[in-house]
Amino acid sequence: MSLIDYLDPLVAAVLLAGIYAAMSIGMTVIYGVMKIVNLAHAGFMMMGAYFAFELFERFHVHPVIGALLALPTFFLFGMAVYWLLVRWLPRSDQPTLSSLLLMFGFWLVLQNVALLIWGNEDQSILTPMTFSVIRFGPVSIATVRLVVFVLAVVSVVVLQIVLRRSWFGRAVRALIQNPYAAQITGVDDRRTAMLSFGVGIAFAGFAGSLLAMLYSFSPDFGRQFLLRSFVIIVLGGLESFSGVAIGALILALVETFSILFVQASYQPAISYGLLVVVLLVLPKGVAGLLEKKWRVA
């Protein structure tokens, strides 16, 4: 393979990292604030895909607009789910079995609701953009992947700004760092948790809508992305937002480049092998490593 042959995968990996970051950041927000491993994340992504699909099929809304509309819609949906179900969970600063079961059960409910509404048939969104390719010299980039990447990166950056500059963001970060101290200083943990859950689900729905532009989907959609999200947030350090971006980039680079050297059939083993290695060597993820280096320096 020539150097040019490595340029294509590099671009592909960067584009992939964008969508990986968008789909994982919602999970990090929820875990950070509430210590809930949102197993229903895949279900919300699947619902996001069908949301964009329905808007496209029924009202001819472009999937890009559909994805943007998914953000407020799923934010409200998330808050409703929180109010109806999640707020009843016992408070804990560690993930609990009841939260795992609740979210797993809710994922199954979402899957079965989707089966009832849309059936088992695979659906996809086909626009003139779907097969259009932009060429930069020897490198070709699928237009739809570029669009999805831009949307994903912009959304993650906006969320970062919100988390850094707003009262809500400061409350979220305070709850992640020290929930007890945050409450003493007047942070309303219930309200912040509800908003965080809404934000997390908004990003899951948004990511699902973006993924629907790239892949066909069925009620089972999202399972593999959920596993990837786990890898990414563990790589990123579980509660670190910038860590998610780094984790997404690492996973995308490892997945894309590893199969240039080994059989593609080993790709899942490489991704999950990476998860095992990180859990053993860097239990606090890349963010933990950087924090350590910073302190030493």
Partner 1 sequence: MENRFMRNRRWKAGLLFLAGVAGLFASPTQSAAQGGDTITIGVVLPISGREGKPGQYQKEGVELAIKQINDKGGLTIKGKKYHLKEAFYDDGSDSAKSASLAERVMSTDNATAVIGGYSTALGEAESVMPDRYKTPWLTPGAAATSIFSHGYQYVFGTLSPVLLLGSTTAEFLGYLVDQGKLKKGLKIAMAVENTDHGIDYVNGVQDWISKHPGYFTVVFNEKFELGGTDFSGLLQKVKAARADIFLSDAHLQDYITMQRQYLQSGMHHQVISYGARGPEEAARKALGDGINYIFAGIWWSDKLPYPQAQKFINDYKQFTGRAPDSWYAATAYDSMRILAQAIQQAGSTDKTKIRDALRKAELKDSILPGTVLKYGPNGQAGYPFVIVQNQPGGKVEIVYPKNAATGAPIAPTP
Helices and strands (H and E) in the chain: how many: 12, 2
If one asks whether residue 144 binds partner 1 (CB under 8 A), the answer comes out as: yes
- In the complex, the smallest distance separating the C-beta of residue 42 from partner 1, rounded to whole angstroms, is 12
Are residues 155 and 22 in contact, defined by beta-carbon separation less than 8 angstroms? Answer: yes
If one asks whether residue 115 binds partner 1 (CB under 8 A), the answer comes out as: yes
Residue from the set 3, 58, 60, 121 that interacts with partner 1 by CB under 8 A: 121
**Residue 186, both tokens:** 């007047």
If one asks whether residue 124 binds partner 1 (CB under 8 A), the answer comes out as: yes
Nearer to partner 1, 21 or 182 (CB): 21
DSSP per-residue codes, 52-108 = HHHHHHHH---HHHHHHHHHHHHHHHHHHHHHHTGGGSPP-SS--HHHHHHHHHHHH
Nearer to partner 1, 161 or 262 (CB): 262
H or E, element range at 136? strand 133-136
Backbone angles phi, psi at 150, to 5 degrees: -60, -45
Residue from the set 38, 218, 229, 240 that interacts with partner 1 by CB under 8 A: 218
Instruction: Report d(CA 67, CA 73) in Å as an integer.
Output: 10
- In the complex, the smallest distance separating the C-beta of residue 292 from partner 1, rounded to whole angstroms, is 32
Binding site for partner 1 (CB under 8 A): 1, 5, 8-9, 12, 16, 85, 88-90, 98, 101-102, 104-109, 111-112, 115, 120-124, 126, 130-131, 133, 135, 140, 142, 144-145, 214-216, 218, 220, 224-225, 255-260, 263-265, 267-268
